[in-house]
Amino acid sequence: MRIIAIFEKNERVRHIGHLDIQRAVQRGLRRSGLPVAYSNGFNPHILVAFASALSTGACGEREIMDVKMAEETKAEEFLRRMNDAMPPEMRLKEARAVDDRHPAMTALLKAASYEIRIHDPIQANRLIRSVDSMMAREEIPVSRKSKSGIREVDMKPLIHALRGEGQTLYAVLTLTEKESCKPSMILEGLKREAGMDPEEEVRILVTRTMLLGEGEDGGLRPLETL
Amino acid sequence: MSRQEMNDRIEAMLEKVQKAPRYTGGEMNTRIKGWEEAPLHFVFCFPDTYEVGMSHLGMKILTGLINDQDWSLSERCFMPWVDMMALMKEEGVPLFSLESRRPLRDFDVVGFTLMYEMSYSNVLAMLDMGGIPVERRDRGETDPIVVAGGGCASNPEPISDFVDAFMIGAGEEVMLEVNRVILERKKQGWTREVCLKELAKLEGVYVPSLYEAEYNGDGTLKRFSPICPEAPERVRKRFVADFDHAYFPTKVAVPYTEVVFDRITLEIMRGCTRGCRFCQAGMLYRPVRERSLETLVRQAEELVAATGYEEISLSSLSSGDYTCLPELIRELMKRMKDRRVSISLPSLRIDSVLKESLEETQQVKKSSLTFAPEAGTQRLRDVINKGVTEEDLIEKVRDAFAGGWSSMKLYFMDGLPTETTEDLDGIADLARKVVAEYFKIPKGERAKGLRVTVSCSTFVPKPHTPFQWAAQDTIPTINQKQEHLREVLKIKGVNFNWHAPHLSFLEACFSRGDRRLGRVLKRAWERGCLLDGWSDQFKFDEWMAAFADCGLDPAFYANRERSREELLPWDFLDCGITKEFLWREKEKADRAETTRDCRQGCNGCGIQRIRGLCAYADPKRAKAPSPSLVPYEAEGGEK
């Protein structure tokens, strides 16, 4: 069996990279004393997977870990013992027990919702005013770095929703193993739309609020509920 | 700047620096006590980067101890990297603590640990960035008390212009007493001077402002004495009397990012009975005291449960000498195997490693083995009293190769007293013999990929050792010796590592320096020297210019042989061993005579003056109950 658990990565630890977050979770699992399953081989490691890597500098409200257990474990017990074993910066919020045959979280992942807080109120005003006109375009080109160099892509099909309020942008963006739209791309598009210098520094604080998959009706649903 | 504003600026800087987690804290098992929760505010400063500092056991012990008291709290602070320093300067942000992000100047006590001489410039930089006057004489009534301890406090003089009070010896014994006095200052409104005089009354505390130094025409020390009755003529270091029950925190911080020692450190023993003459730790941390098997197994269990670490390393100066080593390893392996925790043994001594334990460590992980013969010939090993023979080494190497190891590290020193070309050639001979042992094992039976690494560091004479009078080789001499080693060590299967001697030269100046070096230190810092332990930051020429600016000759400190009569800058400290013992050892070194291991009989180093402290000084009183309550015997007890 497996446990799928929702955890938070709060502001204090937002600069911790994904590999270090993985290790912190693994050590948390070891501290918890829960009956987790280990890989075979010379250097056995805990069988834990993450639905998606969260970039360095971003906070996460509902990140997902997927832990293979060696013994039957109740979700409530998992939650309780992990919260005793994790630092307050990485609290677990919910847990759910699933069968081993349950598909991998990464395979179900379709999109994520974000809050992008723009630090400077003047910049925020300019950028947020440009949301509607940008979204009204047929195509929204942004530059994207790849192995073959920088190329222009159209990010419009990757934006499920985008609106602004106060100093914050609320976005639902495609996130799959194949393609994804990052909050930084939204920012780049809006800067272009607003006629700002692309080099102008805009301080933002990104919080990924939810990971999403596709429900039976084709609409986006919280990933952990699928 | 308000705290909110400072916090905003810090957040903005963190988005730009290379490794932000160096400055953010929040690791598992770190505590953030509310500022108002405890009346005494201590900040533990480590004068090097986060990755180095978080590997330091002493910091974990002391912050744990201070936070455990309801009347005190301890936060942490590390030396920022150059990118962060530049941003802080630009933004006008003072150096802040990790936990509550307060400037160092807001604390009552600012405590530094001095692990190596080449971190001294960082102490100055951190004080300055933290908003505290760098020199102690410039500090006023509202400034914190700056204290320091750690290994280098055994010669505090070169950095004594910048520190209000030093703690000599075991920090876990004296730290709370120091904090209590400083809390009294806060409560009673004592002046700085009153507070410092109160501190000077504590055993193991040295307050440099209460002493004066006079010099002879040739630059040597003429007189060093206290200027007030509160300050003792001699300051005696503090010992941990009951090591088995000494405070040892098991809920230690687990860093998110990788640090130098990212594992559990289990201190199995303090002190060493070997008496290697170059080894300052071996002289300073006497007597040898072992933790009991029961205590260690319990601590290991608690540490694993509290940290989730995957590896335990047994730490001490000479782990192979731990009385019940095979039993300890067997017990730990048995308990840890199911939890996938591996056990590693550092600082192996070639004459004490049991074949049995070697095989057991291999059961979980087979890493490279380290041996430290230190010198290439038997004569020179006798000079330094490294009681190890070539046969010992070869036998252990043979066992290791037969046991499936193929990677081996051999540590040596260059520039040891009396060293000749023959001794250097001996290093190559030994390396060649090690390689030969590997090939003696039939192909197919031995592990593949032979790798013998020979590392050579430059000898630095240290205070409180029999070589405290010795001259260090000059830089050109060391360069020649290293050139020679590079030639003779061109052996197939052997890798040679060495370091340019410049850092060791400066280390030699500061390890045996006097208080006049404070001027050099300040000048070097003004010239931009900091993070000297990092080769890409080390500015040797600036250091030399700083010496010149102050009219002092570094060779006077590093390359000069001292006479028996000379008053040494650290003579006022009683670290347990006596100067007479050290001189006897020096003379024996000159004659290439060895001294037996203390376990074979007492050598009268001076520790026996403290009754009941050393188990080998007087077998009748070996397990005396509370040795700390027994006063010193008269000096005459030494034989």
The CATH number of whichever domain residue A89 belongs to comes to 3.30.70.580
Q: Nearest-CA distance from A137 to chain B in Å? A: 32
Condensed to tens digits (0 to 9), the pLDDT of residues A50-97 reads 999 999 999 999 999 999 999 999 999 999 999 999 999 999 999 999
Condensed to tens digits (0 to 9), the pLDDT of residues B305-332 reads 999 998 898 888 888 788 888 888 888 8
Nearest to B132 by CA among B258, B51, B45: B45
The structural domain count of chain A equals 2
The answer to whether residue B22 scores a pLDDT higher than 50 is yes
Strands (E), B337-423: 342-344, 369-374, 407-414
Structure confidence at residue B371 (pLDDT): 86
What pTM does this model have?
0.92
**What is the pLDDT confidence band of residue B637, given thresholds at 50, 70 and 90?**
very low
Residues A112 and A98 placed together within one structural domain of the fold: no
Condensed to tens digits (0 to 9), the pLDDT of residues B32-51 reads 899 999 999 999 999 999 99
ipTM > 0.85, yes or no? yes
The answer to whether residue B571 scores a pLDDT higher than 90 is yes
Q: Using CB atoms, which residue from B14, B20, B26 is nearest to A87?
A: B26
Residues A140 and A199 placed together within one structural domain of the fold: yes
Confirm or reject contact between A85 and chain B (CB < 8 A): yes
Cα gap A52→A182, rounded to integer Å: 13
| CB spacing of B257 vs A20 below 8 angstroms | yes
Residues A118 and A210 placed together within one structural domain of the fold: yes
Condensed to tens digits (0 to 9), the pLDDT of residues B458-495 reads 999 999 999 999 999 999 999 999 999 999 999 999 99
Q: Using CB atoms, which residue from A15, A23, A85 is nearest to B21?
A: A15
| CB spacing of B339 vs A30 below 8 angstroms | yes
Q: Nearest-CA distance from A148 to chain B in Å? A: 26
* Pairing relationship of beta strands B40-46 and B145-149 according to DSSP bridges: unpaired
The answer to whether residue B454 scores a pLDDT higher than 60 is yes
Q: How far apart are the first and last CA of chain B?
A: 63
Full DSSP string of B510-558: HHT--TTHHHHHHHHHHTT---TTSTTT--HHHHHHHHHHTT--HHHHH
Q: How far apart are the first and last CA of chain A?
A: 16
Residues A220 and A154 placed together within one structural domain of the fold: yes
| CB spacing of A27 vs B254 below 8 angstroms | yes
Nearest to B322 by CA among B270, B264, B384, B260: B270
Condensed to tens digits (0 to 9), the pLDDT of residues A173-214 reads 999 988 999 999 999 999 999 999 999 999 999 999 999 999
Residues A118 and A94 placed together within one structural domain of the fold: no
Cα gap B610→B616, rounded to integer Å: 12
Structure confidence at residue B356 (pLDDT): 55
Residues of B in contact with A21 (CB under 8 A): 256
The answer to whether residue B615 scores a pLDDT higher than 70 is yes
Residues A136 and A178 placed together within one structural domain of the fold: yes
Structure confidence at residue B397 (pLDDT): 87
Mean pLDDT value of segment A139-161: 88
Q: Element (H or E) spanning A6, and its range?
A: strand A2-9
Residues A126 and A86 placed together within one structural domain of the fold: no
How many CB atoms are closer than 10 A to CB B200?
A: 23
B124 contacts B47 by C-beta, under 8 angstroms? no
Pick the residue of B14, B28, B362 with the most A CBs within 10 A to test the interface with A by mutation. B28
Name B540's Cβ contacts closer than 8 Å, sequence gap at least 6: B502, B503, B506
Residues A174 and A207 placed together within one structural domain of the fold: yes
Full DSSP string of B608-635: GGBTTT-TTT-GGGTT-S-GGGSPBPPG
Name B116's Cβ contacts closer than 8 Å, sequence gap at least 6: B151, B152, B507, B533
| CB spacing of A23 vs B21 below 8 angstroms | no
Residues A149 and A86 placed together within one structural domain of the fold: no
Q: Element (H or E) spanning B453, and its range?
A: strand B451-458
For residue A179, give the amino acid letter: E
Q: Using CB atoms, which residue from A12, A28, A85 is nearest to B24?
A: A12
Indicate which CATH number applies to the domain containing A218: 3.30.70
Structure confidence at residue B346 (pLDDT): 54
- What is the pLDDT of chain B when averaged over all its residues? 90
Residues A122 and A198 placed together within one structural domain of the fold: yes
Chain B, residues 329-348, CB within 8 A of chain A, namely: 339-340
Q: Using CB atoms, which residue from A15, A21, A88 is nearest to B20?
A: A15
Structure confidence at residue B329 (pLDDT): 85
For residue B199, give the amino acid letter: L
Condensed to tens digits (0 to 9), the pLDDT of residues B485-496 reads 999 999 999 999
Residues A157 and A121 placed together within one structural domain of the fold: yes
| CB spacing of B340 vs A44 below 8 angstroms | yes
Tokens of B290: 């072992």
**What is the pLDDT confidence band of residue B357, given thresholds at 50, 70 and 90?**
low
At which of A50, A77, A102 does a domain end? A102
Q: Which domain holds residue A188?
A: 108-225
Q: Nearest-CA distance from A5 to chain B in Å? A: 19
Residues of A in contact with B84 (CB under 8 A): none
For residue B629, give the amino acid letter: L
Confirm or reject contact between A35 and chain B (CB < 8 A): no
The CA–CA distances, whole Å, from A107 to A91, A213, B476 equal: 25, 9, 64
Full DSSP string of B220-265: SEEEEEESSTTS-SSEEPB--S-GGGS---SS--B-SS--SS-SEE
At which of A83, A102, A121 does a domain end? A102
The answer to whether residue B63 scores a pLDDT higher than 50 is yes
Structure confidence at residue B631 (pLDDT): 33
Q: Nearest-CA distance from A163 to chain B in Å? A: 25
How many CB atoms are closer than 10 A to CB B130?
A: 24
Structure confidence at residue B367 (pLDDT): 66
- What is the pLDDT of chain A when averaged over all its residues? 94
Condensed to tens digits (0 to 9), the pLDDT of residues B206-221 reads 999 999 999 999 999 9
Chain A, residues 6-25, CB within 8 A of chain B, namely: 12-13, 15-17, 20-21, 23-24
A190 contacts A142 by C-beta, under 8 angstroms? no
Residues of B in contact with A33 (CB under 8 A): 305
The CA–CA distances, whole Å, from B228 to B200, B211, B212, B231, B327 equal: 10, 8, 10, 6, 53
Structure confidence at residue B497 (pLDDT): 94
Residues A76 and A138 placed together within one structural domain of the fold: no
Tokens of A96: 């759910």
Interface size between A and B, measured as CB pairs under 8 A: 61
Secondary structure percentages of chain A, helix, strand, coil, to 5? 30, 35, 35
Pick the residue of A31, A117, A118 with the most B CBs within 10 A to test the interface with B by mutation. A31
- Of A34-48, B138-152, B555-569, the poorest mean pLDDT is in A34-48
Residues of B in contact with A44 (CB under 8 A): 340
| CB spacing of B305 vs A44 below 8 angstroms | no
| CB spacing of B28 vs A203 below 8 angstroms | no
**What is the pLDDT confidence band of residue B405, given thresholds at 50, 70 and 90?**
confident
Mean pLDDT value of segment B557-561: 97
Cα gap B469→B465, rounded to integer Å: 9
Structure confidence at residue B626 (pLDDT): 35
Dihedral in degrees, nearest 10, Cα atoms B329, B333, B335, B337:
170
Sheet of strand B311-315: strand arrangement: B264-267, B311-315, B342-344
The answer to whether residue B383 scores a pLDDT higher than 70 is yes
How many CA atoms, within 13 angstroms, populate the side-chain half-sphere of residue B64? 17
What is the distance of C-alpha B153 from the center of its chain? Answer: 10
More confident residue, B399 or B149: B149
* Percentage of the residues of chain A whose pLDDT score is greater than 90: 87
Q: Using CB atoms, which residue from B15, B310, B339 is nearest to A203?
A: B15
| CB spacing of A27 vs B15 below 8 angstroms | no
Residues of B in contact with A87 (CB under 8 A): 26-30
Cα gap A56→A48, rounded to integer Å: 20
Structure confidence at residue B467 (pLDDT): 98
At which of A52, A81, A102 does a domain end? A102
Query: Which letter does DSSP use for residue A134 in this model?
Result: H
Cα gap A82→A153, rounded to integer Å: 42
Name B79's Cβ contacts closer than 8 Å, sequence gap at least 6: B46, B47, B48, B49, B53, B119, B122, B125, B126, B530, B531
Biggest CA-to-CA distance, chain B: 77
Q: Nearest-CA distance from B312 to chain A in Å? A: 14
